[in-house]
Chain A
Amino acid sequence: MPEPLLELHGVSVHFRRGRTLLRAVEEVSFCLELGDVLCLVGESGSGKTTLGRVAAGLLRPTSGSVRYRGQDVWHLPANAFRSFRRAVQIVHQDPYASLNPIRTVEDTLVAPLLHHRIARNRVDAVERAARLLELVDLVPPEQFLPKYPHQLSGGQRQRVSIARALTVGPELIVADEATSMVDVSIRVSLLHTLRRLREELGVAFLFITHDLAMAKYFAWQGRIAVLYLGRVVELGPTPSVIGHPLHPYTQALLAAIPEPDPDLTRQKAKLLLRSLDIPSLANLPSGCPFHPRCLHFVAGLCDVERPLLDAVDGQRAVACHIVQQERTGSDALQSRREAPTSGNDERLSLERG
């Protein structure tokens, strides 16, 4: 059996801030094959970016392993680690910070081509850089090569970032909110370009976003992992996660997507949370980290025991006591519905005001 391209196994990342310990990522596992798409979805502070940096080999996890073609990358000899790093490239969120302001597009693209001897000489490198620009729909390339970043629009810069990532022929691209800071009008065409790259070049994508609509658009053939406070709470193929969300948090996220039609938004079933506050990473709630906000909260279970990410119908996995109980035929959920456990399930909606 061939080894997966990239496998994260029980990855945790903790940061120290003075005396407090921030658990940014806790026990996350997933794997990616060549050509796969996995969307990491979650609110800010859920550990998406941290996880992306771990996947790209830019950050060493506190515990757990990152395996590239079956080998733990943090125990690789320097040479093999470098080839891993080339195989996984990252496209950042901010198109204004991800390109060096004093280097032209040509400088930016040619440097890695020459450094890794992908191009024979400068002329060849410029030629290849031009082809890459065409690949990311910056045509005609001669017009873009001599430009400085400040002469480009946000969307164009983001395309240059993508071209830069492609210089080294990556197998996986970590797109960290790559489309969230460009104008909505540009976003779709940028997504199109990314999708075409996936189809034409067979590049795998780890697509990080806070926007489920983006995930739906980009990763319909792929999978979605929903992150909450550094933990994966739900993982499964995009159509089923979006069509039938199981975890209460995923349900709340989906309900929070505003519809273009205000009437429709009002009619939409308001999925409710008990609290709008995201708990602090420095002081995580006991048991299930979602329990202070969860409508289906069962005292004595959810706030005591941490739910594990358990498989549900083969391809999906959910970390929720209630869902698991439902599946094992327990009547806990039913009894909870008849007699709410406490009076504090105030009806708060997730909708942004």
Chain B
Amino acid sequence: MSVHNTLPRRQRSVLGLVAAWLADLFRHDKAGFLGLVSVVFFVGLAVLGPLVVPEPGKPDVTKIYQPPSLEHPLGTDYEGRDVLTQVLRGGRSIILVAVLAALLSTAIAITFGSLAAYLGGAVDSVTGLVTDVVLTVPQFPLLVVLSAFVKLDRPWLLALLIGLLSWPTLLRAVRAQVLSLKEREYVEAARALGLSTFHILFREILPNMAPYIVMSFTIGVTAAMYAQVGLYFLGLAPLAGENWGIMLNLAWIRGAIFFKNSVLYILAPVLAIALLQLSLVTAARSLEGLFNPRLRES
């Protein structure tokens, strides 16, 4: 027995684990660490942005489409409002809705995907059927049609719609993985021990898929952001308030694309979205190290 085996019993607080992982990440995976930091930054921005910049920019018809300046680092829009203010305040609803939608779709996919795979039989058939139906419906067009009937002015409503449409792919993947994992001998041993189905699914099987689930969640966040921005860009969701989607829509509709001075104005929301996506994906990939005990020790 080597020296590192003499550690005291049960020294596994969650905080300690996360701290050790962060330190390890910083040392071995700089990109992942950077991704994580920038995710924290964006989420912080979403939460604190409207507190730091409490006022939406005031229209000023004398300062329409101004080039970047000290006063307006990213220029102004068609009404003369400051673009930086809009970028800083515009992340909140987009991120909130995207996270809610992804949480919903991931929850649906995990619950029903694993139950379908583990229980099989009628549960599996019905789940499969519903999944196929939702999967075949073209989602974006459906959202477009729905927006004609439902006023998408509340974040939770938008999140609900996007979430309810985007679970099938993940459900299928979860089902396939559970199908393979449930044949493992440790699952059979758990069955022989008489442990509950709940324990077997959520303690034995699903934690083995944690990195995959986190990855899928971030992809879900990404997809939900695109769906929203798409809806705003096409003007299918009410253009009330400020967010990156509305910024893009207005830049397009009001003709900012024709002004050389407005390059940064147009690029700002696009860059914000792209950077958030990039950091989400990098951060999610590095989470593997947190879930896999094999990778945890360096």
Contact = CB atoms under 8 A, between A and B. Distances in A.
Given A90-B188, A97-B184, A164 B12 contact: no
Contacts of B189: 90, 92, 98, 161, 164-165
B193 interface: yes
A100 B193 contact: no
Interface in B243-298: 291-294
A145 B9 contact: yes
A102 B199 contact: no
Interface stretch (B89-97, B100-108, B202-210): B202-210
Contacts, number: 82
B293 A148 contact: yes
Given A58-B191, A100-B208, A111 B10 contact: no
A254 interface: no
A88 B193 CA distance: 9
B193 A98 contact: no
Q: For the side of the interface on A, what is the size category?
A: 20 to 34
Interface string A73-92: 00000000010011011101
A145 B10 CA distance: 8
Contacts of A161: 189
B204 A92 contact: no
A101 interface: yes
A56 B192 contact: yes
A234 B106 CA distance: 55
**How many B residues are at the interface, by size bracket?**
20 to 34
B192 A97 contact: no
B41 interface: no
A142 B10 CA distance: 9
A143 B192 contact: no
Contacts of A56: 192
A90 B7 CA distance: 32
A115 interface: yes
Nearest to B292: A102
B13 interface: no
B193 A112 contact: yes
A21 B48 CA distance: 66
B135 interface: no
A98 B186 contact: yes
A102 B291 contact: yes
Q: Which 3 pairs between the two chains have the least Cβ-Cβ distance?
A: A98-B185, A92-B185, A148-B293
Interface of B: 1, 5-7, 9-12, 184-186, 188-196, 199, 203-204, 207-208, 291-294
